[in-house]
A = this chain, B = another copy of it.
Amino acid sequence: MASGAPEIEQLIQLLARLPGLGPRSARRAVLQLIKKKDALMVPLAAALDRAVVAVKICEICGNIDTRSPCSICADPRRRDAGLLIVVEDVADLWALERAGAGQVSYHVLGGVLSPLDGVGPDDLSIDALVARAPEFAEVVLAVNATVEGQTTAHYITDRLDGSNAKITRLAHGVPVGGELDYLDEGTLTQALKARTAI
């Protein structure tokens, strides 16, 4: 019990379930919301109400948008460019868009293969990917460079064996602005192997 009023208590408990917020920061967030009622709480309530109604999952790629097919899938320039980027999660799609990926299409897997967590091929959007792949000249497997991500990439490569699409992955290397001293040896080895002329 923090405040006594069930309306406030329930708001705290729901906010505490967001990633990055715990019970303590949820209480601080609710106090902030109440202090800035007109500038923050009312607009947030309205924005959530609008999002509940408007948000849709794209039936083609799995992106989150207010329309399905999403604005990316509906863009003929992107479709005609013939480049399909496969990502684990919508957050990765957004990250690539922020990075200015250009005229590309996406496919959101919805996770990675993980036998320990009970995630098999049927839990991911892999059949839909196999069905879409023939429409593209190149499929980039932009899954995370984790063991599970790489296992998933191998599995997808096998499944796409019959298609004519060229299958690629993101380059490994030194992050821009990164210091060599803090990099793991695997990355350094890959960056040295893939060195480029200046």
Contact = CB atoms under 8 A, between A and B. Distances in A.
Interface of A: 1-5, 7-8, 10-11, 14-15, 17-21, 25, 27-34, 37, 40-45, 47-52, 54-55, 64-66, 70-72, 89-91, 94, 97-98
A19 B28 contact: yes
B47 A52 contact: no
Contacts of A10: 47, 50
Contact of A29 (B19, B32, B55): B19
Given A27-B91, A30-B51, 10 more contacts: A1-B98, A2-B94, A4-B97, A5-B65, A7-B47, A18-B29, A20-B21, A27-B94, A33-B51, A41-B48
Chain A contact surface mostly: helix
A32 to B, nearest CB: 5
14 contacts: A2-B94, A2-B97, A3-B65, A7-B50, A7-B51, A8-B55, A8-B65, A10-B50, A11-B44, A11-B47, A18-B21, A21-B29, A33-B48, A33-B51
